[in-house]
């Protein structure tokens, strides 16, 4: 099983266990909203651009709400278990959805009381670190200060402004990914740097 398929399956198992009305780390979204988002992202290509572009967000929200109106929560979870659209191609699913489903799974898990980080397979951690090396500069493009990502066990990635104060962020690849994806306050990382710079970074808008 690919990493993308494994994370997809684990996320859907968590959704089935929690039900439709639980909070997530996505502002204003319940678990019902999040699974509808995952389904339309893959099955409604006309609505997908609105996920990234504010000008088209209204159409996307309308399509997402329509899916909620027409499908029960268990139906949407069942749909989310199987890749749709272009993501039926295994190589594309793996390339795009490994990080997407990992982050959204943690969006669900870490919004619940008593959560703890998962121990990820070493191979998945390596994949996440490699992808971070390719995408960190984009995810950190809005960072107000320089960022130095330190991987537990070795490895450094730089992002944010080259000039000015810098904050060192240390942790496992999975935790560093969540930090860079805009989940700064829910990532188990260690921060080192000037207090003002740390505060500004924690409150900044990061991610894709």
198: domain CATH number? 3.30.1050
Q: What is the pLDDT of residue 60?
A: 73
Instruction: Identify whether 13 is part of a domain.
Output: yes
Instruction: Identify whether 115 is part of a domain.
Output: no
Q: For the chain, what percent of residues have pLDDT higher than 70?
A: 95
Q: Which of 109, 132, 156 is the last residue of a domain?
A: 109
> What's the chain's average pLDDT?
91
Rounded to whole angstroms, how far apart are CA atoms 194 and 201?
11
Are residues 81 and 10 located together in one domain of the fold? yes
Q: Which of 44, 77, 109 is the last residue of a domain?
A: 109
Using alpha carbons only, give the angle 169, 140, 204 rounded to the nearest 5 degrees.
80
Tell me: pLDDT of 148 over 60. Answer: yes
Are 179 and 187 spatial neighbours (Cβ–Cβ below 8 Å)? yes
- Across the beta sheet with 190-192, what order do the strands follow? 156-159, 146-151, 166-171, 190-192
pTM of the model: 0.91
Q: What is the pLDDT of residue 43?
A: 85
Number of compact structural domains in the chain:
2
Q: List, in order, residues 6 or more apart from 197 with CB less than 8 Å away.
A: 144, 145, 165, 166, 167
Are residues 105 and 146 located together in one domain of the fold? no
Tell me: pLDDT of 110 over 80. Answer: yes
pLDDT in tens, 30-86: 999 999 999 988 887 776 665 665 665 677 778 787 888 899 999 999 999 999 888
Q: Which of 80, 109, 138 is the last residue of a domain?
A: 109
Taking residues 159-164, what's their average pLDDT? 92
Q: What is the pLDDT of residue 154?
A: 87
Q: What is the pLDDT of residue 65?
A: 76
Whole domain around residue 29: which residue ranges? Answer: 3-109
Q: What is the pLDDT of residue 55?
A: 63
Per the rule left: phi > 0, alpha: psi between -120 and 50, beta: everything else, 95 is alpha
97 — pLDDT class (breaks 50, 70, 90): very high
Among 4-8, 12-16, 55-59, 120-124, the minimum mean pLDDT is found in: 55-59
């Amino acid at each position: 099983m690919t990493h993308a398929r494994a994370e997809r399956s684990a996320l859907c198992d968590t959704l089935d266990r929690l039900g439709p009305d639980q909070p997530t780390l996505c502002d204003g979204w319940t678990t019902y909203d999040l699974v509808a988002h995952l389904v339309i992202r893959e099955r409604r290509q006309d609505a997908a651009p609105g996920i990234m572009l504010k000008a088209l967000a209204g159409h996307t929200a309308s399509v997402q709400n329509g899916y909620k109106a027409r499908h029960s929560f268990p139906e949407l979870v069942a749909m989310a278990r199987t890749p749709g659209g272009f993501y039926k191609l295994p190589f594309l699913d793996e390339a795009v959805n490994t990080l997407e489903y990992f982050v959204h799974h943690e969006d669900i898990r870490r919004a619940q009381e008593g959560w703890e980080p998962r121990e990820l397979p070493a191979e998945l951690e390596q994949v996440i670190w490699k992808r971070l090396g390719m995408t960190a500069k984009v995810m950190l493009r809005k960072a107000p200060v320089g960022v130095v990502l330190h991987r537990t066990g070795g490895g450094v990635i730089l992002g944010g402004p080259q000039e000015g104060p810098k904050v060192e962020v240390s942790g496992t690849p999975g935790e560093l990914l969540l930090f860079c994806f805009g989940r700064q306050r829910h990532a188990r990382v260690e921060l080192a740097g000037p207090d003002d710079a740390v505060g500004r970074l924690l409150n900044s808008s990061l991610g894709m």
